[in-house]
């Protein structure tokens, strides 16, 4: 298949920042693209060959969109799976496949899949309703604390809650859910894995993640993670196994816990480029977006090693600001060496909204981490029309 400067068309479901960054790579390769997103002002509305406004959860919309592309991929997992299944039946290539996505989209299915495949993960119980969960608790089969996760619709800290007592149960919605044992982890880690249709697999170095205590969004991602070599090797091996078990084609972000006794547990996965891999744009020999494109087009995968140490800082909307976005002190952080801001192109800020990220690279990782702190302390995502 000739992808370059040809009539071949890659379809991308979702036009957010991940889609936007994917398009840097399709432009670099001159691969024709078609993007769909419900938002007419979506970040990926530019740089694709064709942009369509439409609902990704609507069967007919997705089927119509997919009919005249050659390969279909996505940048968000909340898409209509039945439409993807139909397109596959009609001979369309969908990567990751509908069956892989199905196993991932529902957190209950995802966890049961790990058990079946003997992939280490935190113990859990699955419930079809809130009633079932409350009954289990009343019968003392489930004790506090635990992590509650909605089986579907969870994203960026939504659909997840720490349940410490009876009162925490009250606001939970009545939806199918899982109750997961709370892991007192030493580190939260992630490994990006790429796999193409030929079955070639490459894992990226392990990254270390720090979450914002309130918003439950990643604040710093550090590559490589400052952990023992054998822990890193084990984490990459587990991630590799996850990708192969799912028969996943494309990029898979595997979020992991490192327990107090250095066991690796799979927390959850995202079947697409991921926030924890943004550092790769500046730090890696092949960035995660290029790697995703290589994987879904069944091209050889690129080297996953790092050129330099990398630290990623998310730019999220400051609390108490809502309105047209202003990046306060951006000029100040641009004076620091190895600092690259990425502005996603959302015109309005609101508290904790992901508006961009900053990557800090340095030959000395500790130096990068120090500069990242300066970045974090300087730049504020606010609105001047508060």
Annotation: binding site for ATP:
107, 149, 180-183, 188, 267-268
DSSP 44: G
Number of shown-chain residues binding a second copy (CB under 8 A): 45
Binding of a second copy at residue 325 (CB under 8 A)? yes
The single residue among 256, 290, 292, 314 that binds a second copy, judged by CB under 8 A, is: 290
Q: Which of 68, 331, 364, 373 binds a second copy (CB under 8 A)?
A: 331
> At 281, is the secondary structure helix, strand, or coil?
helix
Q: Could you say whether residue 292 binds a second copy (CB under 8 A)?
A: no
Of 17-25, 126-134, 165-173, 229-237, which segment contacts a second copy by CB under 8 A?
17-25
Paired with 357 in beta bridges are 314, 342
Q: How far apart are CA 51 and CA 66, in angstroms?
A: 13
Does residue 164 interact with a second copy by CB under 8 A? no
Examine residue 197 and tell whether it contacts a second copy (CB under 8 A): no
- Contact status: 138 vs a second copy (CB under 8 A): no
Cis peptide bond N-terminal to 96, omega within 30? yes
Distance between CA 238 and CA 245 in Å, rounded?
Answer: 10
List CB contacts of 178: < 8 A, sequence separation 6 or more.
107, 108, 111, 124, 125, 126, 127, 148, 149, 151
Interaction between residue 361 and a second copy (CB under 8 A): yes
**Contact region for a second copy (CB under 8 A) — 59-67, 131-139, 261-269, 323-331?**
323-331
- Which of 72, 299, 312, 316 is close enough to bind a second copy by CB under 8 A? 299
Q: Please pick, from the candidates 172, 341, 367, 378, the single residue that binds a second copy as defined by CB under 8 A.
A: 341
Q: Kindly indicate which of the ranges 42-50, 103-111, 234-242, 266-274 contains the residues binding a second copy, using the contact rule CB under 8 A.
A: 42-50
Q: How far apart are CA 330 and CA 135, in angstroms?
A: 52
* Distance in Å, CB of 145 to a second copy, minimum: 40
Q: Can you state the percent helix, strand and coil of the chain, rounding each to 5? A: 30, 30, 40
Least separation, in Å, of the C-beta of 212 and a second copy? Answer: 22
Selected binder of a second copy within 363, 364, 366, 377 (CB under 8 A): 363
SS3 state at 237: helix
- Helix 107-116, helix 229-246: angle, nearest 10: 110
Residue 259, phi then psi, degrees to nearest 5: -80, 175
385 binds a second copy (CB under 8 A): no
Which span (24-32, 120-128, 151-159, 247-255) binds a second copy, by CB under 8 A? 24-32
The count of residues in the chain is: 386
Cα 32 from Cα 21, distance rounded (Å) = 15
The secondary structure element, H or E, covering residue 230 is: helix 229-246
86 part of the interface to a second copy, by CB under 8 A: no
Q: Which two tokens stand for residue 143?
A: 């004790």
List binding-site positions: 107, 149, 180-183, 188, 267-268
> Quick check: helix, strand or coil at residue 275?
helix
List the one residue from 5, 67, 143, 377 that touches a second copy (CB under 8 A): 5
Checking DSSP bridges between strand 201-203 and strand 177-181, what pairing results, if any? unpaired
Interacting residues toward a second copy by CB under 8 A? 2, 4-5, 20, 23-24, 27-30, 43, 46-49, 285-286, 290, 294, 299-300, 302-303, 307-308, 325-327, 330-331, 334-335, 337-347, 361, 363
């Amino acid at each position: 298949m000739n992808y370059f400067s040809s009539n071949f068309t890659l379809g991308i479901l979702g036009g957010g920042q991940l889609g936007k960054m994917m398009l840097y790579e399709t432009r670099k390769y001159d691969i024709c693209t078609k993007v769909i997103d419900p938002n007419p002002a979506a970040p990926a509305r530019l740089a694709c060959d064709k942009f369509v406004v439409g609902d990704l959860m609507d069967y007919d919309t997705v089927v119509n969109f997919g009919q005249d592309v050659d390969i279909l991929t996505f940048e968000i997992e909340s898409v209509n799976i039945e439409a993807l299944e139909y397109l596959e039946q009609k001979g369309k290539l969908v990567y990751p496949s509908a069956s892989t996505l199905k196993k991932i989209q529902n957190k209950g299915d995802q966890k049961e899949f790990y058990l079946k495949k003997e992939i280490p993960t935190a113990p859990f119980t699955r419930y079809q309703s809130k009633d079932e969960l409350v009954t289990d608790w009343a019968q003392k089969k489930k004790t506090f604390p635990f992590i509650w996760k909605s089986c579907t619709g969870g994203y960026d800290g939504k659909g997840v809650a720490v349940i410490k007592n009876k009162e925490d149960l009250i606001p939970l919605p009545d939806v199918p859910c899982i109750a997961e044992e709370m892991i007192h982890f030493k580190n939260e880690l992630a490994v990006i894995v790429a796999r193409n249709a030929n079955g070639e697999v490459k894992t990226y170095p392990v990254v270390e993640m720090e979450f914002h205590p309130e918003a439950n969004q990643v604040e710093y991602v550090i590559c490589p993670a400052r952990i023992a070599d054998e822990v890193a090797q084990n984490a990459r091996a587990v991630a590799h196994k996850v990708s192969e078990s799912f028969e996943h084609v494309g990029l898979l972000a595997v979020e992991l816990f490192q327990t107090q006794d250095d066991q690796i547990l799979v927390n959850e996965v995202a079947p697409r480029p991921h926030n924890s891999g943004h550092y790769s744009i500046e730090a890696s020999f092949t960035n995660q977006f290029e790697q995703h494109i290589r994987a879904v087009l069944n091209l050889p995968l690129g080297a996953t090693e790092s050129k330099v140490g990398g630290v990623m800082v998310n730019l999220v909307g400051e609390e108490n600001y809502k309105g047209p976005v202003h990046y306060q002190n951006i000029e100040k952080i641009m004076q620091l060496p190895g600092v690259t801001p990425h502005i996603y192109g959302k015109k309005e800020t609101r508290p904790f909204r992901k508006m961009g990220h900053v990557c800090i690279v340095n030959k000395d990782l500790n130096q990068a981490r120090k500069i990242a702190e300066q970045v974090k302390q300087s730049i504020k995502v606010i609105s001047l029309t508060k």
